[in-house]
Amino acid sequence: MASAQVTGSTVDRVRTGPPAGRSGRARDWAEIQERMLVPLYQDVYRRLDVGAATSLLGVGCRSGLALLLAEGRGAQVAGVEPDGGLRELAAARGLQVAPGGGAGALARSAHPVPRPAHSLVTVFERPPTPALIAWSAERTLPGGQLVVASWGPAERCESAAVLEVARRHAPLAAPDPFAAAGPGVLGALLASAGVRPSESGRVSCPFAYAGLDSAVRGLLSTGLFDPAEEAAGDAPVAAELAEALRPYLRPDGSVRMVNEFRWAAGTRPRT
């Protein structure tokens, strides 16, 4: 059984070279960025008592760290992820991850998931749109739980100033990472999919990096800057991102930003 021992504020010291470019984004996510959300995963799993009786499906699971943490608690885990590079990294970790549709199109995927329904379905790392939540609810067993998560309010996230770089250059139709941050929004999304909201939480997820270069790589690997890069070009966005990160440089050269993430869970009715 695979396992993971990490913390959300762990500083990445694996790679210190320049940004890897789009071809290296999947590995940048796995090596730098995904650990930043560990406090979120752990809070959900603790509150929902994830363990040997849990069959968990991670929707948009990326390279699978959240699945590894649930597996370490005894859960049976599987995932769905549209990005081929991220699926390869998840498979290298011994995880079963099915393809979805194109990026952002999981809700329209015709690919089968490893089993038809699960006792817990999580949407940690994809924007929680109504279509995606409805698709995920259909893969939740009656009596099972569905969890959705998002950034907290911009005023409680130091990374909001950095994400402004993406907003300035992205088309107007680009997703807003803070769209679900308002009071009750996540619960309303669950209710719209026929899931009864039951629990919620707020979690501090510090984003900590060894240096400016790794911070740029990590943030670009989230996909939040993709529309901006398509509109303005990769190099200008990376340069502007690096400049926006400078206020968060620490005396030792590391970068640290404090952020809040929020989650909500609901139960799919049995009838």
pLDDT tens column, 118-174? 999 999 988 899 999 999 999 999 999 999 999 999 999 999 999 999 999 988 777
pLDDT tens column, 191-239? 999 999 999 999 999 999 999 999 999 999 999 999 999 999 999 999 9
pTM for the whole structure:
0.87
Cα(141)–Cα(137) distance, rounded to whole angstroms? 8
Indicate the pLDDT class of residue 115, thresholds 50, 70 and 90. Answer: low
> Which comes out higher in pLDDT, residue 3 or 204?
204
Using the structure block, give the residue that is written with the tokens 């379905």. Answer: 121
Predicted confidence at residue 113, as pLDDT, reads 52
In the predicted model, what is the mean pLDDT of the chain? 88
Using the structure block, give the residue that is written with the tokens 């026929």. Answer: 194
* pLDDT score of 107 more than 70: no
pLDDT tens column, 45-88? 999 999 999 999 999 999 999 999 999 999 999 999 999 999 99
Using the structure block, give the residue that is written with the tokens 């924007």. Answer: 127
Predicted confidence at residue 22, as pLDDT, reads 63
Predicted confidence at residue 172, as pLDDT, reads 77
In CATH, the number for domain 22-267 is 3.40.50.150
21-30, 49-58, 107-116, 169-178 — which one is most confidently predicted on average?
49-58
Using the structure block, give the residue that is written with the tokens 């859960």. Answer: 75
Burial of 188 (0-12, 13-18, 19+ CB in 10 A): middle
Predicted confidence at residue 271, as pLDDT, reads 74
The angle subtended at Cα 145 by Cα 193 and Cα 135, nearest 5°, is 40
Predicted confidence at residue 139, as pLDDT, reads 94
Can you give the chain as a three-state secondary structure string?
A: CCCCCCCCCCCECCCCCCCCCHHHHHHHHHHHHHHHHHHHHHHHHHHCCCCCCCEEEEECCCCCHHHHHHHHCCCEEEEEECCHHHHHHHHHCCCCEEECCCCCCHHHCCCCCCCCCEEEEEECCCCCCHHHHHHHHHCEEEEEEEEEEEECCHHHCCCHHHHHHHHHHCCCCCCCCCCCCCCCHHHHHHHHCCCEEEEEEEEECCEEECCHHHHHHHHHCCCCCHHHHHHHCHHHHHHHHHHHHHHHECCCCCEEECCEEEEEEEECCCC
* pLDDT score of 2 more than 60: no
Cα(122)–Cα(107) distance, rounded to whole angstroms? 14
Predicted confidence at residue 14, as pLDDT, reads 33
Indicate the pLDDT class of residue 114, thresholds 50, 70 and 90. Answer: low
Cα(206)–Cα(168) distance, rounded to whole angstroms? 24
Structure tokens at 117: 């329904």
